[in-house]
Amino acid sequence: MKSFGYTITKDRQIDYDANDRRLIEYVEGIEPSIRICMECGSCSATCTAGHFTDFSIRRLHTLLQRGETLHLRKEIEKCMLCGKCQLVCPRGVNLRNLILIIHQALDKLHHDL
């Protein structure tokens, strides 16, 4: 068939119903403090990794809540576990633990992410 060079663009919409939420459920089960995030962005603003890469722990957390886990394994590798995010968090969310548990969960759930 002749190719005209057109391709189908992937939908960037979050399809909440189709998303796999096992990961967030696992993480929340171990670290319930991540529920109380009010999305202020203090964590990302102070993040050392975020100053040099496009890593945003706030956004990662929000995407995780929505069941968006694509690129997650690659994303969390940018975190250096310095813990500054946790120091500035006004609600005391244990963000370092969030990263550690995601590591753990990815291995445990055998996610191909």
Partner 1 sequence: MSKTAIIIGGGVAGMETAGQLNRLGIEVVLIEKQASLGGHLKNWDRLFPDRRESQEVFDYLEKGMNDGISLYLNATISDIREAGGKFTVILEDGRELSSDALVLATGYDLFDARKKEEYGFGIYDNVITSAELEEFFRNNKQKNLFEGVQSKRVGIVHCVGSRDEKVGNLYCSKLCCVTGVKQAIEIRELMPDAEIFCFYMDLRMFDRHFEEMYYEAQEKWGIRFIRGRLSEAAENPDHTILVKVEDTLTGLPLKMKVDLLILLVGFVPSPETKRLAGMLGLKEGDDRFLCPSDEHLLPNSTDHPGVFLAGTLKGPASIAATIVDARAAALQVAEYLVNGER
What residues make contact with partner 1 under the rule CB under 8 A? Answer: 12-17, 32, 35-39, 58-59, 62-63, 65-66, 68, 91
In whole angstroms, give the CA distance from residue 41 to residue 82: 17
DSSP structural state of residue 36:
G
Least Å from the CB of residue 9 to partner 1: 14
Kindly list the distances between the CA atom of residue 82 and the CA atoms of 26, 73, 79, in Å, as whole numbers in the listed order. Answer: 23, 18, 8
Decide whether 5 or 92 has the Cβ nearer to partner 1: 92
**Which of 5, 90 has the CB closer to partner 1?**
90
**Residue number with CB closer to partner 1 (17 or 112):** 17
Fill in the amino acid letter for 110: H
Closest approach, Cβ 36 to partner 1, in A, equals 5
Q: Provide the minimum distance between the beta carbon of 43 and partner 1 in the complex, in angstroms, as a whole number.
A: 13
Residue (of 112, 79, 113) closest to 98 by Cα position: 79
Shortest reach from residue 14's CB to partner 1, in Å: 4
* Whole-number Å distance between alpha carbons of 4 and 40: 46
